[in-house]
Each structure stands twice: as structure tokens, then as C-alpha cells.
């Protein structure tokens, strides 16, 4: 306890006044002997003890009255076990959860609005000179200001302007960033306040984080006080668009794309009818109604055809009333190709029909053109021999196929290596002209061969097949985007074809940087398709031939969709993705400048918030590209290239926060204890506790009541002991 007016406590010495009066009155009497005194001696002996006790009680009350009055005027304050901080400034970091679950609406506004209001009230209550920093936890840790601010008005004004719509919360990174910020601040008292709806999904994943965070808090040279402030009401149920599934291969104008929409209803509230709407570039292209019982999932299939080439936005929305609308919409960016140029390098050309190495492959890639149908093929092939390979030939190519090519000279190998490094796709199929040593010594060592070749296996050839040496592709649940198409048996069965000859390969450990993976296996346990990334491109090795010499694949119905899937998927994956996770860079590769073109070094990006950002064009030896890193907000980013082309990027977040479950009060309390912190009910509670920490609890009001009581007791005793009756 301490006193605000310590000098006034000296007034308590006034207790000596009634004491002195009492002592003086005791000495002012005379002893007078008279004859009947002996008759009263017995009465005096009986009442002496009682009279003395009454006098002492009255004296005690009269002495207490000036002491209590002086204490009341001195204004005593309870400080607890510590000392009062008074108006000393504080270093404070406020973490505000702005993830998309905070967009949940209620009668008091959204959870985010409640969180921002609470943060503002806490910040406004800080003392002058305090250091204040605000961190948002949605998507990735984001600072409200570049550095700590000393003016609370500036912080609260910026908070009022903040909007939600961010991705799932990242508390692991946010707490680490917050503790790092506090470590750089200067004041002796440091506060970390976390304001969140405390979604179960967000905090369940932090089982190992609270230990390290608690150790960081405990090991801090200056004590850090951690406070959790829950906001928001419980949401009983929620409907969300969980995912969109579609083929990742390149799509051409007029080609069919099946878009599969996955919907989910969270919570066990009864069945309801959901209206699902499909929009392409803002135009409604399809609608459906589905029944969604509580705690269930369903799918909706939308077939789409695109009339124009270029970048398109596909958008699926569940239309209707929902307290969490942020997860009712899911978007995807889809590139529609005009023409895809594929170079087929024929290592064994022939004048007879279907005898050349790439004859079957050319038919599979351009069936509409050869069939003279009115529709146009996406792929446009150019067949050349190995001697024609050079940089000019590969400049506009998307995919190059080496079909039974024996070897290349150094300049051709360098042209091919440069093509793949800057983002091209290479498909290598083997055959009887394959030079094993050259492939291992030059192509493998150059990084363009996914695996080292070992030996040729199987029968002697097509004319004399050895049935004991025939193998097939293993049917499995394929994971590679080019082969996922065949997980549906109706699309074709790769195991129906017989493989008579193939090369075995050696798996080598290339360390952590190895990007080689087996796409499909043969029944012998040998790889059939092997992929690796090289630079910005990719290479796929087919361990058999692409014609009918070593297998009857070209004679099977599955051959056309197989080659279409392989080539178009390779071409699509060679381009940086247009659908990215929040925080990942949006990268666009530009066409090389042609002679006479003016070089423009800037592009323009329109962000989901409506803001515009200028981005520089990066140029290196391999290509020109645009890289935009500020993709922390989910939504569509529109990039206008220097050439005027419009490209769309969609930044997505996880669907975990669509689960409406929140931690209850006991769970939040346990989580706070795990972190070594406390839980408060509201910002008003925080401000009140902060006031007590700074100024303590004044008790003069209670002393005043005690003083009034003592005055009443003194009057009562005076009248009682003096025999005065009312």
C-alpha cells in the first residue's frame, strides 16, 4: 500500500489530544474522607473494572477518529505485491486476427469489427510515449505500420480503415514476429495482446509452438505480459465451397472442360437447398440446386467451353443467406490456348505411312486436322530430323519430343538445354537407335535425362515377340496431373497395351535437390514414365518407344488421350501457375522481344482490394518475366503486361476456417496457461486491470465509511456510559 497525500498522514498525531485530555482529567480530583465512605467501598470494587473498561473503549474510539480521518485525507492506495507504474509508457504489440472466419456476422457486427473496436479501446488507454505495434495474423503476419508508433491516434485511425477478407490465420509466424517486435522495443513494461475468435483449427496446430513461445516469453530479459481476448459468437452451421477440380492440361478454344465443385455443410443443422451459380468472366454460365444435410459434402459438375483464347476467371458461388459469406465463393484462373506449337524430332523417319518414329504421335496430337473436321486442334506439330534442332526452331515451341534420336551435337544439346531451362517441356522416347553411352554421358550429365539408362530388356522386336518378355503398365491411382485423367476407367485403361521392349534405369541419389519422380511403372518393377524438373522447365522420359516397334500402344484406343494428356499437361506445367496460395509470388513469363519492339520495363497489377501497383519487368539470360510478391490477400490479381495482355492470378487460402467450431472458455483458458498468459473478457476489463496496475485501488471511501461509523460509536458510547437517555 502507498499514500497519495503522505503529508496529511501526519494529522493522525491528533490522536494525542483525546489521550492528553483523558490523562489530565484523571489527575483533577481530590480525596475527601467522610464518614459513610466505608458503605460505598463494596460498590466501588464491583463497578471499578467495568468503568475502567468503558473509559478505555471510549478513549480508543476517540483516538481512532483523528487517525482514520488523517488516513482518509492521505488517500491510501492498495498496490498488491508490486509497485505502481503510474503514467510510465509501455511497449505493446496487439495481434488482431483478420482471417476469413472473422468475417462472420452477428447482431453486434462482424467478429473483425468487434476485434478492431477492442484493439482501438486498448490502444487509446495507453500512456503517452508508449510504443505501439499492430500485427494481423490472416494469411501471413502483416504489420499495420512499418514500425512501432508513439501516437495512439495514428494507430487507431489506421485500424478504423482496415478491411478483412484475408486467408486462414498463421499464428505460428505471427507469434514469432510479435515476440521479435517486443524484443526490439525499449520500455520496461511489455504487453502482448491477442484478439481472436480462437478457431479450434487455428490453435490445435500449435501444439509444439506454445512451448517455444512460452520459453521465449520466460527467457526475455524484460517480462512480457501475454493476454488473450476472445471475440465473436458461436456459429452453429456454415456452407462453403471447398474446392474446384478440373484438368490441369492445356485447354483450347471450344474444348470441353468439366469443372467439379465440392460443397460442404458444417454443423448438424437440418437439410437445406443450396443454389450454386457458375460465372465465367462475370457472366452467369450455369446454375444448379443441391440438397445439403447437416455435416455432409456433395459435388456439382459444370461443363464449360471457352469461345476465346486468353486468361479467364471461373467463379462458383453458393447463393443465399450465410453468416460467413467469405467461403461461399471460390475462383480459378484458367488459360485458354489458341495454338500450341510442338516440335517432333523424328530419329527414324520413313517414307512409308506409319513407319516413321513420330507418325502415330503426330496423328494422336492432331486428330481433328487429319480427319478434316471443322473443329481446330489445339496442338500444331512440326516434324523435323535431329539436324534441324537450333535456337530459332525452339524459340516459339512449347514442347519438344525426341523420338528415338540417336545423339545430338554440342550446339544442338545446348539449344535443347537452354529451351528447357527457360521453361520449355521435353519428352524423350527411346528406341533401337538410342545411343546408350551418349545418353548417359552427355544427356544425363547435362541434367536432361531423368535417370541413367542401364540395359535394354524384352523380346527381339515386333516380328518375333517373346510372350514371356511382354509386360504392361501397372494400373494404379495416378497422382501426376497428366495421368489423373486415367483414374476413371471410362477414360481409358493404360494396362491394356503390351510392352515388348524397354530400357531399365538406375536410380541415383542426387541429394535433397533431386526433383525426379516416377509417374508410372511397368509390371516388371521398372519405370515407364519418369519426370524431373530442370531450370524452369521439365523433362519426361518414356523408357519405351512412341511408335509400334516396341509396344502396341499406338494400336490401342488409349493412345490418343495418353499423348494428348502428356503433351498438353507438360506444356501447361511449364508455365508458372496462375492459381497460387496466398503469399506465393505471381509470376508471368513474357515473350522475347522481337527486333524493333520497344522495351517497356513496367507492368500494372490490380489487387483484390482495388489498389494498383506498378511492377518492374525482370530480365535475365533465359527470359523476361514479371514477379509480384504482395499476394497476402485472397482473390483475383489482374496483371497487365507491357504488351497489353491481361493475365489473371487467383490467390487461395485453405478451407480449414470454414469449420465454425470455436474454442470454449475453458479451452481458451488452458491455451493461455500453455503460453503463460491470461484471458480477459473484454477490452473494458483490460483497461480496468491496467488502471489498477498503474494507479492501484484507492480505499479512502471505505475509510470515510469507517470514520462515520466511529463517530456514531463515539456518540453511542458517550451517551451510554454517561447515563444520558434519549
Question: Quick one: cell of 5?
Answer: 497525500
Residue 476's pLDDT band (cuts 50, 70, 90)? confident
**pLDDT at 592 > cutoff 80:** no
Distances (CA, A) of 63 to 185, 343, 455, 557: 52, 110, 112, 112
Q: What is the CATH number of the domain that holds 445?
A: 3.40.50.880
What confidence tens digit (pLDDT) does each residue in 352-383 have? 888 899 999 999 998 877 655 555 678 889 99
Report CA dihedral (574, 576, 578, 581) to the nearest 10 degrees: 120
* 39, part of any domain: no
Better pLDDT: 638 or 213: 638
What confidence tens digit (pLDDT) does each residue in 166-187 have? 888 888 888 888 888 888 888 8
In whole numbers, what is the pLDDT of the chain averaged over residues? 84
Q: Decide: 17 and 69 in contact? Cβ < 8 Å.
A: no
Say yes or no: 402 and 503 in one domain: yes
Question: Quick one: cell of 152?
Answer: 495512439
Say yes or no: 218 and 255 in one domain: no
What lies within 8 Å, CB to CB, of 102 at 6+ separation is 110, 111, 112, 115, 138, 164, 196, 197, 232
CA nearest 258: which of 299, 298, 307, 302?
302
Residues 227-243, mean pLDDT to the nearest whole number: 89
Say yes or no: 349 and 323 in one domain: no
**pLDDT at 689 > cutoff 60:** yes
Say yes or no: 201 and 246 in one domain: no
Task: Choose the weakest-confidence range: 191-195, 196-200, 281-285, 694-698.
Answer: 694-698
Better pLDDT: 188 or 578: 578
* 669, part of any domain: no
What lies within 8 Å, CB to CB, of 452 at 6+ separation is 440, 444, 505, 506, 508
Helix (H) or strand (E) holding 674: helix 665-675
* 43, part of any domain: no
Task: Choose the weakest-confidence range: 25-39, 244-258, 484-498.
Answer: 25-39
Say yes or no: 488 and 439 in one domain: yes
* 37, part of any domain: no
What confidence tens digit (pLDDT) does each residue in 621-647 have? 556 788 999 898 899 999 998 888 899
What distance in Å separates the CA atoms of residue 487 and residue 362, rounded to the nearest whole number?
25
What confidence tens digit (pLDDT) does each residue in 509-552 have? 555 456 889 999 999 999 999 999 998 889 999 999 999 999 99
* 315, part of any domain: yes
* 693, part of any domain: no
- CB burial class (10 A; 0-12, 13-18, 19+) of residue 161? exposed
544: containing domain: 340-573
Q: Decide: 454 and 530 in contact? Cβ < 8 Å.
A: no
CA nearest 625: which of 588, 580, 572, 593?
588
Chosen domain end from 182, 207, 234 = 234
Q: Where are the alpha helices (DSSP H) in 309-449?
A: 359-365, 367-370, 391-394, 410-421, 436-438
Q: What is the CATH number of the domain that holds 327?
A: 2.60.40.10
What lies within 8 Å, CB to CB, of 241 at 6+ separation is 261, 262, 263, 316, 317, 318, 327, 328, 329, 330
Say yes or no: 406 and 525 in one domain: yes
* 42, part of any domain: no
Backbone angles phi, psi at 92, to 5 degrees: -135, 135
Say yes or no: 72 and 121 in one domain: no
Residues 53-68, mean pLDDT to the nearest whole number: 78
Question: Quick one: cell of 469?
Answer: 518378355
What distance in Å separates the CA atoms of residue 461 and residue 613, rounded to the nearest whole number?
61
Q: What is the CATH number of the domain that holds 193?
A: 3.40.50.410
**pLDDT at 726 > cutoff 60:** no
Say yes or no: 592 and 531 in one domain: no
Residue 58's pLDDT band (cuts 50, 70, 90)? confident
**pLDDT at 40 > cutoff 80:** no
Say yes or no: 551 and 598 in one domain: no
Better pLDDT: 590 or 478: 478
Say yes or no: 188 and 221 in one domain: yes
* 34, part of any domain: no
Distances (CA, A) of 700 to 81, 236, 319: 20, 49, 62
Chosen domain end from 525, 542, 573 = 573
Distance linking the first and last C-alpha atoms of the chain: 42
What distance in Å separates the CA atoms of residue 85 and residue 79, rounded to the nearest whole number?
10
Task: Choose the weakest-confidence range: 46-55, 143-152, 154-163, 452-461.
Answer: 46-55
Task: Choose the weakest-confidence range: 97-101, 559-563, 621-625.
Answer: 621-625
Q: Report the number of distinct structural domains present in the chain.
A: 5
Residues 262-283, mean pLDDT to the nearest whole number: 86
Say yes or no: 553 and 495 in one domain: yes
Chosen domain end from 234, 261, 293 = 234
Q: Decide: 279 and 602 in contact? Cβ < 8 Å.
A: no
Say yes or no: 629 and 717 in one domain: no
Amino acid at each position: 500500500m502507498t499514500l497519495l497525500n503522505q503529508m496529511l498522514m501526519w494529522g493522525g498525531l491528533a490522536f494525542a489530544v483525546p489521550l492528553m485530555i483523558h490523562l489530565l482529567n484523571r489527575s483533577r480530583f481530590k480525596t475527601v474522607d467522610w464518614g459513610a465512605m466505608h458503605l460505598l467501598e463494596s460498590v466501588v470494587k464491583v463497578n471499578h473494572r467495568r468503568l475502567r473498561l468503558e473509559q478505555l473503549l471510549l478513549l480508543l474510539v476517540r483516538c481512532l477518529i483523528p487517525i482514520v480521518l488523517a488516513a482518509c485525507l492521505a488517500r491510501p492506495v492498495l498496490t498488491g505485491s508490486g509497485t505502481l507504474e503510474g503514467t510510465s509508457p509501455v511497449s505493446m504489440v496487439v495481434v488482431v486476427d483478420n482471417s476469413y472466419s472473422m468475417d462472420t456476422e452477428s447482431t453486434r457486427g462482424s467478429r473483425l469489427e468487434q476485434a478492431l473496436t477492442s484493439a482501438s479501446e486498448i490502444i487509446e488507454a495507453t500512456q503517452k510515449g508508449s510504443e505501439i505495434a499492430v500485427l494481423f495474423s490472416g494469411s501471413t503476419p502483416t504489420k499495420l505500420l512499418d514500425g512501432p508508433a508513439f501516437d495512439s491516434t495514428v494507430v487507431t485511425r489506421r485500424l478504423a480503415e482496415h478491411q478483412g477478407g484475408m486467408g486462414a490465420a498463421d499464428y505460428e509466424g505471427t507469434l514469432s514476429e510479435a515476440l521479435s517486435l517486443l524484443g526490439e522495443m525499449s520500455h520496461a513494461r511489455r504487453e502482448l495482446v491477442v484478439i481472436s475468435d480462437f478457431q479450434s483449427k487455428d490453435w490445435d496446430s500449435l501444439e509444439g509452438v506454445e512451448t517455444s513461445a512460452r520459453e521465449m516469453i520466460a527467457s526475455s530479459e524484460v517480462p512480457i505480459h501475454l493476454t488473450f481476448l476472445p471475440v465473436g459468437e458461436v456459429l452453429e452451421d456454415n456452407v462453403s465451397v471447398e474446392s474446384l477440380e478440373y484438368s490441369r492440361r492445356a485447354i483450347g478454344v471450344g474444348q470441353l472442360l468439366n469443372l467439379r465443385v465440392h460443397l460442404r455443410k458444417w454443423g448438424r443443422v437440418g437439410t437445406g437447398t443450396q443454389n450454386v451459380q457458375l460465372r465465367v468472366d462475370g457472366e452467369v454460365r450455369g446454375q444448379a440446386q443441391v440438397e445439403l444435410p447437416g455435416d455432409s459434402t456433395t459435388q456439382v459438375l459444370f461443363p464449360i467451353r471457352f469461345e476465346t483464347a486468353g486468361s479467364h476467371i471461373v467463379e462458383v458461388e453458393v447463393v443465399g443467406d450465410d453468416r460467413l459469406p467469405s467461403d461461399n465463393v471460390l475462383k480459378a484462373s484458367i488459360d485458354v490456348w489458341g495454338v500450341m506449337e510442338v516440335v517432333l524430332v523424328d530419329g527414324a523417319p520413313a517414307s512409308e505411312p506409319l513407319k516413321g518414329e513420330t507418325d502415330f504421335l503426330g496423328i494422336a496430337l492432331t486428330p481433328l486436322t487429319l480427319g478434316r473436321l471443322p473443329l481446330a486442334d489445339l496442338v500444331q506439330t512440326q516434324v523435323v530430323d535431329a539436324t534441324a534442332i537450333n535456337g530459332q526452331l525452339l524459340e516459339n515451341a512449347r514442347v519438344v519430343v525426341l523420338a528415338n534420336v540417336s545423339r545430338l551435337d554440342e550446339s544442338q544439346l545446348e539449344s535443347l538445354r537452354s529451351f528447357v531451362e527457360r521453361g520449355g517441356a521435353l519428352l524423350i522416347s527411346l528406341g533401337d537407335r538410342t545411343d546408350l553411352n551418349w545418353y548417359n554421358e552427355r544427356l544425363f550429365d547435362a541434367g536432361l535425362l531423368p535417370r541413367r539408362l542401364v540395359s535394354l530388356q524384352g523380346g527381339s522386336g515386333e516380328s518375333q515377340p517373346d510372350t514371356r518378355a511382354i509386360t504392361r503398365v501397372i494400373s494404379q491411382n495416378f497422382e501426376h496431373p497428366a495421368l489423373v485423367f486415367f483414374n476413371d476407367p471410362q477414360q481409358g485403361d493404360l494396362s491394356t497395351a503390351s510392352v515388348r521392349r524397354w530400357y531399365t534405369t538406375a536410380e541415383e541419389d542426387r541429394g535433397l535437390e533431386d526433383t525426379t519422380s516416377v509417374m508410372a511403372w511397368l509390371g516388371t518393377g521398372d519405370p515407364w514414365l519418369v519426370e524431373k524438373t530442370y531450370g524452369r522447365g521439365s523433362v519426361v522420359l518414356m523408357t519405351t518407344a512412341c511408335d509400334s516397334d516396341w509396344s502396341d500402344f499406338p494400336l490401342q484406343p488409349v493412345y490418343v488421350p495418353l499423348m494428348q494428356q502428356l503433351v498438353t499437361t507438360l506444356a501447361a506445367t511449364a508455365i508458372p501457375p496462375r492459381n497460387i496460395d496466398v503469399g506465393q509470388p505471381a509470376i508471368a513469363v513474357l515473350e522475347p522481344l522481337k527486333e524493333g519492339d520497344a522495351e517497356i520495363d513496367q507492368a500494372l497489377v490490380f489487387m483484390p482490394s482495388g489498389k494498383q501497383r506498378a511492377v518492374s519487368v525482370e530480365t535475365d539470360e533465359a527470359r523476361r518475366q514479371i514477379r509480384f510478391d504482395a499476394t497476402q490477400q485472397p482473390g483475383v490479381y489482374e496483371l497487365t503486361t507491357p504488351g497489353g495482355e491481361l493475365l489473371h492470378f487467383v490467390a487461395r487460402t485453405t478451407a480449414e476456417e470454414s469449420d465454425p467450431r470455436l474454442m470454449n472458455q475453458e479451452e481458451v483458458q488452458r491455451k493461455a496457461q500453455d503460453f503463460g498468459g491470461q484471458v480477459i473478457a473484454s477490452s473494458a476489463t483490460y483497461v480496468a486491470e491496467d488502471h489498477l496496475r498503474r494507479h492501484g485501488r484507492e480505499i479512502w471511501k471505505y475509510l470515510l465509511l469507517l470514520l462515520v461509523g466511529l463517530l456514531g460509536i463515539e456518540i453511542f458510547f458517550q451517551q451510554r456510559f454517561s447515563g444520558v437517555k434519549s
